[in-house]
Structure 1
Amino acid sequence: MFTGIVEEVGNIEGVKKGAGSASISIRASRIMDDIHLGDSVAVNGVCLTVTAISGGGLAADVMHETLNRSTLGTLRPGKPVNLERAMAADGRFGGHIVTGHIDGTGTLASVRPDGNAIWYTIATPPPILRLIIEKGSMAIDGISLTIARVAAKDFSVSVIPRTAASTILPSLRIGDAVNLENDCIGKYVEHLLGNAGPSGTITAGFLAEHGF
């Protein structure tokens, strides 16, 4: 589990692609102080398992399913990536619950300065938009951010300078794809409501039928 607080911006050192999978090597420094084979690391919000460690970084395998659902298939040597190690049990919960299992991708539609903040607007399909609420949480490329606005075809976040400077956000350009992970609590609630009955709502009768 992760919190969406990026620890370091690393750089892709190499990408080896197979028929339906890939192996990536990442140059990093800060997170290497406490990392081991088999550890989980979020790379642009995608949970990967460390398969090799070198003096200047790490390597991880990316399976076919992950390549299909994320932007990792577009990574090239030299590209910056957000990195976060799995949350330690004694660590601070600075962001929100992030699993590293993304729901899909969005496209950067606009970037607008607003005083000391920057507004990023992300276009994304209805299956992701329906689980977004204003003032709720969203992980964008693994960054825990608060939703400032939701529209019919996109949503926006307002980012403070500290967050921008600590992540890959400044390197994004209009049209770039980003990994998105909805708040997992919302996904569970939607699933439970979907099984509530034909109406899709929880009623007094539904609760009584199930012992409440």
Structure 2
Amino acid sequence: MFTGLIEHTSRISSISDPSSPANPSTEDEQGGFTLTLDDAAPILGDCSIGDSICINGACLTVTAFGDDWFKVGLAPETLTRTNLGEVKVGDKVNCERAMAGHTRFGGHMVQGHVDSTATIISKKPDGDSIRYRFQLPPSTTLLPYIVEKGYITLDGASLTITEVDDRERSFGIMLIAHSQEKLTLTSKDVGSTINVEVDCVGKYVLGSTERIEAMVDRIVEKKMKEKGLL
């Protein structure tokens, strides 16, 4: 579990694709697509093999690490759901270690389970802030979970939704000056993709409501049949 408060931005130092003859998999990579990240010392002081680190919003497992670098494996599902298949050597990514039980819980409850990607469709300055608008793909089912002034996680960062347009499948956020210095979103332009995780509390509430409604419908139908009304 994470909070969406980015601790550090690390750099992609190498990308290994075992399916390529030029990059055969090694034992420590366990036959998976592997990212190596450096410039990572601030988040490795208490690191252990098997720890979770949220990278651009995706919860990934540390498979190896040193003083200033670590490796994570990427499964096909991760590549399908996220923008991590698009990163290049030298790119910066947002990083957050798993939430500790003894710290204040800022941000919001983030699972690190990316739901989809969205595309930046506008980026405009507003005073010392920047207003962004994003568009979800035509196949999206996420709009019921995206509400004005609600939470959303973009590339791992907990942000507040400022506007929603269901017809355009779009939503907006405002990035304050402090966040501009901390997040990789600042360096992204119109047309770039970002990882999206909607508020998991909304998922559970809406999912539970739908199940309760279905259960009530079944009970009503049963009682009506018993009374010969159907």
Instruction: State whether TM-score is above 0.5.
Output: yes
Q: Contact 1:107–1:123 at 8 Å: present in 2 too?
A: yes
Shift in Å, 1:34: 2.0
Correspondence 1:167 to 2:183: yes
Which residue pairs with 1:17 in the alignment? 17
Which residue pairs with 2:142 in the alignment? 128
Which residue pairs with 1:64 in the alignment? 76
Q: Contact 1:13–1:26 at 8 Å: present in 2 too?
A: yes
Aligned length: 204
**Is the partner of 2:65 in helix, strand or coil?**
strand
Which residue pairs with 1:155 in the alignment? 171
**Matching of residues 127-206 of structure 1 within 5 Å:** 127-152=141-166, 153-198=169-214
Correspondence 1:99 to 2:115: no
Distance (whole Å) between structure 2 residues aligned to residue 83 and residue 134 of structure 1: 26
Distance (whole Å) between structure 2 residues aligned to residue 124 and residue 109 of structure 1: 10
Match of 2:55 among 33, 43, 55: 43
Match of 2:86 among 47, 54, 74: 74
% identity of equivalent residues: 38
Larger Rg: 2
TM-score by length of 2: 0.84
Instruction: List runs of 5+ in structure 2 lacking aligned partners.
Output: 20-30, 224-230
- Tell me the C-alpha RMSD between the 2 structures: 1.9
Residue identity matched to 2:65: I
Shift in Å, 1:21: 4.5
- Of stretches 145-154 and 125-134 in structure 1, the one that deviates more from structure 2 is 125-134
Residue identity matched to 1:101: H
Shift in Å, 1:196: 2.4
**Is the partner of 2:148 in helix, strand or coil?**
coil
Deviations 1:103-132 (A, max 9, x none): 111001111111121111111134122210
Q: Contact 1:4–1:142 at 8 Å: present in 2 too?
A: yes
- Of stretches 81-90 and 54-63 in structure 1, the one that deviates more from structure 2 is 54-63
